[in-house]
Chains A and B, each alone.
Chain A
Amino acid sequence: MFRPSHELTKKELKEKNYQNLLSTITFFLFMPALIIIFLLFLKGYPALSWDFIFQDPINGMTAGGIFPTIVGTFWLVIISVIVSCPLGVIAAIYLSEYAADNKLNRMIRLAILNLAGVPSIVHALFGLGAFVLFLNMGTSILAASFTLAVMNLPVIITSTLESLQSVPLSYREASWNVGASKLQTIRHIVLPNSIPGILTGLVFSVGRSAGETAAILFTGVAFYLPFLPKSVFDQCMSLSMHLFTISTQVVGVPDAYPFATALVLILLILSVNSISVGLRYYFRTRRKW
């Protein structure tokens, strides 16, 4: 009968220890985040009510609700997605279906990587210089949304590119061989089959813009406004900015108020992200290839 040598059992023991170490590290890496979300929930939940969501902030933003900030965030997110989605999808189509392997297109990919890596405060400076001042939009919802759109562009391009790539080449070949032109193939075969991936990326970018603060700081968001925005040329409040304001700038806020605000923001983003994750799993099970 074979028996593992002394050397081997020692090795196996060591192996086991290492693996346990790694799994413990990984497990504990995720603990802080879970604890944080749990604590936010614990401390914010008592202050949460329908009144909190549907009322204006009162008493110098130390009490009341957060309704105008939710409205503002909604405006910003919707407009930025409307701007960045078509542009991002088109850019991804170009990269995936047309771009030759040359220097220029390597530059495009590098530009996307850099656009994703530029600090959000630099995006804010760009938004201020380009949209607010140069294009004369003033500090407005429009300028802030455009800034967010530029920030989100690389996210949408990358996710679209990924889903275009997942459509098998044979689909394209089949369409081509029955006489469809390249553009027809893209429109009727490639795009419809990659809608799920595009949608997932889109929802993901919605969550990202909802939480962004630095990029909209100087381009269109006000600390406090006594009225709701009437058009895209007005300023607005935003949930993320509001959280920043009441936790650092305003004195004498009872703890429950910012905690509840943070909780609403987190819940909003996590639910949007759950939609994104859910969509991905749903479409994965229905995939035709």
Chain B
Amino acid sequence: MEAKIATEINSAPLEWRQRKSKKPLSEKIIEGLIKGGGFSSIVFILAILFFILKEAYPFLVGAFDFKEFFFSTEWNPASVVKIKYGTFAILVGTLMVTVLSMLIAVPLGLACAFYISEFCSPRLRETYKILIEFLAAIPSVVWGFVAIMMINPLIINLFDVPIGLNILNASIILALMSLPLIVSVGEDALRAVPESYREAAEAMGATKWEVATRVLLPAAKNGLMAAALLGVGRALGETMAVLMATGHAIQIPDSIFEPGRTLTATIAAELGESPKGGEHYQALFAIGLMLFIISFIVNVSADYLIRGRRK
């Protein structure tokens, strides 16, 4: 359910929506309220942007230095000697975790979407769908706990490395967390391909596998890409699990067995101890702004891909 996307659900037919009845004042007022409520999401999204900008603004016009912020690896906001706000190492950490987790989750998730949508029996499909829902319901703090208590010792034993809280650990957790989204959006994309496509291909003697790879894959390409993109968005935005799993060290990781740090985790870990209204606090809001913009771009492109499919 979570994975369903608002842009994908139709409204009642236009003719009905445009219908107007003669009505007493009270109805007019209520309908006005409904209209007002309809705009609430736009209001909230603008409010989020506004309030984050508001808190980040003094930093953006003050201590913010484009080159330092994006290209310096030194993040020393609380240093007495030399305060530095360089997010490069954090950006690299975020990127590594996201890319690695998607390398795991996207192929597996899409394979799973194909299986659930095309190959398995209706009964098995229902079971898997409930399982997906339960998987999606596990909160991120529990995933983080699992990272510390289970995957951490597993990595230490398996790869013989000193710490198990590292990029690999976070990627595994993120892959598991974004799978439900990728599978269910991918499955929706496959279901949206008209039945006549399958029938036409099968009538030509194509096997199910051929239908899947030669017909459905191209036809649902955009939707599947959107599924992957939404997975990326989920991985980028995940906070608690990566805070607990990455080891949270500021450095550019040399390998996947070294700890790193992500944008989201930085905010979560430091905002509590930075004095309100101070520069450090504002810098964290600037990171928040960056995250907002990234997630906005990811979501809008996913929506564009899905809408393209509808045409």
Contacts and interface: CB of A to CB of B under 8 A. Distances in A.
Interface in B45-69: 45, 47-48, 51-52, 54-55
B23 A214 contact: no
Nearest to A120: B239
Interface string A173-192: 00010000111000000000
Interface string A247-263: 11000000100110010
B150 A211 contact: no
26 contacts: A22-B111, A22-B112, A23-B120, A26-B111, A26-B128, A39-B150, A90-B34, A108-B41, A115-B45, A117-B234, A117-B299, A118-B48, A122-B48, A122-B52, A123-B48, A158-B6, A172-B16, A204-B137, A207-B137, A208-B139, A211-B138, A211-B141, A213-B240, A244-B144, A259-B149, A265-B141
A71 interface: no
A78 interface: no
A119 B264 contact: yes
Interface in A143-177: 150, 153-155, 157-159, 161-162, 164-165, 169, 172, 176
Contacts of B239: 119-121, 213-214
Interface in A194-232: 200-201, 204, 207-208, 210-214, 217-218
B16 A87 contact: no
A110 B35 CA distance: 17
Interface string B230-270: 10011011111000100000000000000000001001100
Contact of B268 (A40, A109, A217): A217
Contact of A121 (B116, B133, B268): B268
A82 to B, nearest CB: 15
A134 B51 contact: yes
B35 A111 contact: no
Contacts of A182: 19-21, 23, 31
Interface in B75-130: 108-109, 111-112, 114-116, 119-120, 128, 130
Contacts of A176: 19
A266 B240 CA distance: 16
A158 B4 contact: yes
B271 interface: yes
Interface in A71-94: 87, 90-91, 93-94
A181 B21 contact: yes
Interface string B264-298: 10011001100010000000110010011001101
Most buried by B among A181, A208, A259: A181
Contacts of B138: 33, 36, 211, 266, 269
Interface residues of B, number: 100
Given A90-B38, A94-B34, A122-B295, 6 more contacts: A90-B33, A111-B41, A244-B240, A247-B144, A265-B139, A265-B141
Contact of B44 (A101, A115, A155, A212): A115
A162 B144 CA distance: 32
B156 interface: no
Where chain A touches its partner, the secondary structure class is helix
A214 B144 CA distance: 12
Contacts of A110: 7, 299-300, 303
A80 to B, nearest CB: 14
Contacts of B2: 155, 204, 208
B300 A114 contact: yes
Interface stretch (A45-53, A54-62, A124-132): A124-132
B42 A108 contact: yes
B164 to A, nearest CB: 14
A137 to B, nearest CB: 13
Interface of B: 1-2, 4-7, 9-14, 16-23, 27, 30-31, 33-35, 37-42, 44-45, 47-48, 51-52, 54-55, 108-109, 111-112, 114-116, 119-120, 128, 130-131, 133-135, 137-142, 144-146, 148-150, 176, 179, 183, 207-209, 230, 233-234, 236-240, 244, 264, 267-268, 271-272, 276, 284-285, 288, 291-292, 295-296, 298-300, 302-303
B111 A117 contact: no
